[in-house]
Amino acid sequence: MNRLWLLILIFLLPCGAWAKIQWASQYRFILAKDEPAFIMAYRANDDAIPPEEFKFSWTLFDTKQLVLHTRYREFPKQHILTLERSRSSLREQLMPDPNNRIEGNTQLLLEFVEFNNEKKLATIDAFIQDRNRRMRIEFDDPRKRQGK
């Protein structure tokens, strides 16, 4: 039985059984402490519905951990992200799809990439997974607003 599973894995891995995630949108934010960033999520097929706002900022960094505050649909959350690979990101569902729960959901992934100790800036990457293209995303970067 174990040999059968081994043969299945040998043949399935090169064939792409586990497909790489295709990101619909991505953006790199470089943020100072308490500097808010926004991700605006519009319904792709209905401009009459106002966009939903995902807001985030960081407040504390200690050698490898970052405290990140988020707010989506008026629900505040606090996350601790580290520079370790398995705990460097968070996932937020932006729009569920009851008909296709696994592949139909629109999700946001925020990943803490690095911290610049000299300038006290955190680099956070944002990735949007939206296979069905149900949302239009805009990234509101505070650096661009301020002309930096």
What is the Cα–Cα distance from 75 to 65, expressed in whole angstroms?
23
DSSP the chain: -HHHHHHHHHHHTTTTSSPPPPPSEEEEEEEETT--EEEEEEETT-TTSPPEEEEEEEEEEETTEEEEEEEETTEEEEEEEESSGGGSEEEEEEE--TTSTTTS-EEEEEEEEEEETTTTEEEEEEEEE-TT--EEEEEE-HHHHHT-
Q: Which pLDDT belongs to residue 101?
A: 63
Predicted TM-score of the model (pTM): 0.79
Q: Which pLDDT belongs to residue 78?
A: 96
- The one-digit pLDDT tens for each residue of the chain (148 residues) are 556 555 455 555 554 444 567 788 999 999 999 999 999 998 887 778 888 899 999 999 998 899 999 999 999 999 999 988 789 999 998 887 666 666 667 889 999 999 999 999 999 999 998 888 888 899 998 877 777 6
Domain-wise residue ranges, the chain:
22-146
Q: Which pLDDT belongs to residue 95?
A: 80
Q: Which pLDDT belongs to residue 36?
A: 96
